[in-house]
Amino acid sequence: MEGVRVRFAPSPTGYLHIGGLRTALYNYLFAKHNNGKFILRIEDTDRTRYVEGAIENLINSLNWAGIKYDEGVFVEEGKIVQRGEYGPYIQSERLDIYKKYVDELIEKGYAYYCFCTKERLDKVREEQKIKGLIPRYDGLCRSLSLEEAREKIANGEEYVVRLKLPPNRDIKFKDLVRGDIIINTEDLDDQVLLKSDGFPTYHLAVVVDDHLMGITHIVRGEEWLPSTPKHVYLYEAFGWEKPTYVHLPTVLNKERKKLSKRHGDVSVEDFRKKGYLPEGLVNYLALVGWTPEDNREILSMEELIEEFSFERVSKTGGIFDIDKLNWVNGHYIRGYDLDKLTDIAIPFLKEAGFIDDEFINERYEWLKILVATVREGLSNVSEIVDKVDIFFNDKVEVEDEEALEVLKWEETPTVLNALKEEVENAQEITEELSKTIMKKIQKSTGVKGKKLFMPVRVALSGKIHGPELVSIIYLLGKQNVLKRIKYIENNHLK
């Protein structure tokens, strides 16, 4: 597809929502699939909702997820910078541009000044509700001449500028996901285009920016679908060619309701803090509303780019299933570069109080083996804290009924005594010793199979299932193995 240009245009109102990340991802995949350009623009015209630091968070989240954009707003050396030939890419820096186009619409008769107070508008809407009508502006100021309006402005009256929609007119456009859409202007409102504070509304700014930045495809959430006819009409009013529209299904929870903070994690930051890998989250998120032709569930970013098309995006909301995310993320954890995975795990181990900087410097290789030992059972990296506590305690509590039964076996004291002797005779437990020690115990005791392995596992971990026994023995080290055997002997074998 020639000259594809798409944009992700979030508002800096807080952390990036998981639904926003999916919108950015689909824009990125479509652009890269078509050798096009992907732009990041910041829509900050609603100053009442602006959150300090939100732009940096948005950019950091996109970078973390591996969603690279070609032009727009960047963070470099802690500063916000803009790169590209269509800037500024921050809407609050484009106010003069919007004013020029608002004036053009007024001169052409496609927009008008409105002087109605908030109190009057509230009263009109209340009356409409009582009559069972759709609340909308009643058009009182549409009939004002330009001269009358300018006189009011000269007298200091506060105003907004509204779009003047034609009566009873079908507005048509094609959506790549939903097909042909027709909405009559009788079902629409004379939208405010310029607010009383001089800032444009989303509806004006988005049309002006998308046109001037050469955007060919507008890919956004379906919540904007009711506004699109107004945007299409604005393109017509300006005499511009309208872009192609793509409205994505909403990301829903298992109850088929919109994801919200009340129901758990919803921001990219939430998932990042829990130790989800960017590859796992992006892979899963791509599948929330889209499927590849062969229905594969594990796809790298390169494979997603190769496979992606809007033809396979669902019309209905995509269900965000945390269990499925955990499955996908677990797959990536098991195959992840061990050094990278260890570095991701370290902050969780530090926060739990298991390790400090000195420990990390002195025993980084040990930490890598620890991570490799427990990674099989992880669906996110934060879970490592619960999996490794057995390696940081002097004793182990045996609470499981089956594990307690193992300690009652006739062979258990013999096996544990043989283990104790082997460990006491060793200067330290090396990786080599941990691999051969069970064979030595088998040879000296004649005990084999589960009667050999189960007592050792329960004595050292308190459980009958878990990481490989070789790793447990090595990671615990000489002193901890001896302490645990002694604890079991004193509390369970007497």
* Active-site amino acid positions: 261
Sequence-ordered list of residues with C-beta below 8 angstroms from that of 340, at least 6 positions apart, any chain: none
Taking phi first (over 0 means left), then psi (-120 to 50 degrees means alpha), and beta for anything else, what does residue 179 get?
left
Q: Cite the beta strand spans of 289-422 per DSSP E.
A: 318-319
| Token pair recorded at residue 114 | 């409105």
Q: How far is it, in rounded angstroms, from Cα 213 to Cα 105?
A: 20
Report the chain's terminal Cα–Cα distance, integer Å: 78
| Token pair recorded at residue 490 | 């004193």
Instruction: Convert 6-46 into a string of H (helix), E (strand) and C (coil).
Output: EEECCCCCCCCEHHHHHHHHHHHHHHHHCCCEEEECECCCC
Taking phi first (over 0 means left), then psi (-120 to 50 degrees means alpha), and beta for anything else, what does residue 14 get?
left
Count of other CB atoms within 10 angstroms of residue 333: 27
Q: Is the dihedral of CA 198, 200, 204, 210 positive or negative?
A: positive
Residue 192: enclosing H or E segment and its boundaries? strand 192-194
Q: Which of 431, 441, 493 is nearest to 468 (CA)?
A: 431
Kindly write down the DSSP assignment for every residue of 244-259, as one continuous string: EEEEEPPEE-TTSSB-
Burial class (CB in 10 A: 0-12, 13-18, 19+), 374: buried
**Residues 1, 31 contacting (CB under 8 angstroms):** no
Say whether the peptide bond before residue 347 is cis (omega within 30 degrees of 0): no
Q: Is the dihedral of CA 126, 128, 133, 134 positive or negative?
A: negative
Q: Which residue has the tokens 């055997």?
A: 485
Count of other CB atoms within 10 angstroms of residue 280: 23
Q: How far is it, in rounded angstroms, from Cα 217 to Cα 13?
A: 24
